[in-house]
Amino acid sequence: KAGVTQTPRYLIKTRGQQVTLSCSPISGHRSVSWYQQTPGQGLQFLFEYFSETQRNKGNFPGRFSGRQFSNSRSEMNVSTLELGDSALYLCASSLFSRTGGSLHFGNGTRLTVT
Amino acid sequence: QQQVKQSPQSLIVQKGGIPIINCAYENTAFDYFPWYQQFPGKGPALLIAIRPDVSEKKEGRFTISFNKSAKQFSLHIMDSQPGDSATYFCAASWGTGGFKTIFGAGTRLFVKA
């Protein structure tokens, strides 16, 4: 099975711009989560989608949004970029059962805001 | 409290040594405790996981020890190798109308040859 695919791998944007990141989950996985990884804050949960519905949301401002399509692919959008948004954005898909499950991560999109 | 505290921040061991990474949690609603391994330039990958009704789990050279009463769990890497040099994250997840996983701060492990 192909793994989780994230595009693009690298992005350089200017403060104030907006950006859209894309994630294709493992085939059959309906849950997609997004995480922000920075050296200072570690892995911070952004949100989780399942069957096109956002089920969980982390403590990020409304500038961070996402969506999931009927084929489980997901996009994440960040508007009005700030310097502090520079990070590695990781997408993870999962096949959770009622009792929990593991996350399968992509290799991330490295966003640099200048 | 929805956080997982991980220590140490970094660890250096000789080849063949047994590095131990510790994690502690507060929320008794957590019902799944995975460990992830991350190499530079890659996303984290699941290494091993345990549920709170089990006190120990082994997979190859990796062992999780779980102490439910103390709300602590740890990762032991037996016969560590230079190829084990990576960042390790403990995590905890629970499901409340959708699953959420939170991560410890990570431990950078370096295994000297």
* B49 contact residues in A (CB cutoff 8 A): 102
Q: Before B82, cis peptide (omega within 30)?
A: no
In this predicted model, what pLDDT tens digit does every residue of B71-91 receive, in sequence order?
999 999 999 999 999 999 999
Q: Which of A48, A99, A107 sits opposite B41 (nearest CB)?
A: A107
Taking a contact as any Cβ pair under 8 Å apart, which residues of chain A between 81 and 100 contact chain B? 90, 92, 94, 96, 98-100
Q: How confident is the model over B101-113, as pLDDT tens digits?
A: 889 999 999 999 9
Q: Which candidate, A101, A86, A105, places its Cα nearest to that of A26?
A: A105
**Could you give the 3-state DSSP secondary structure of residue A46?**
strand
pLDDT at residue A96 is higher than 70: no
Q: State whether A48 and B99 contact (CB < 8 Å).
A: yes
Q: HSE of A81 in the Cβ direction (CA atoms, 13 Å)?
A: 19
Cβ neighbours of B102 in A, within 8 Å: 45
Q: Is B84 helix (H, G, I), strand (E, B) or coil?
A: helix
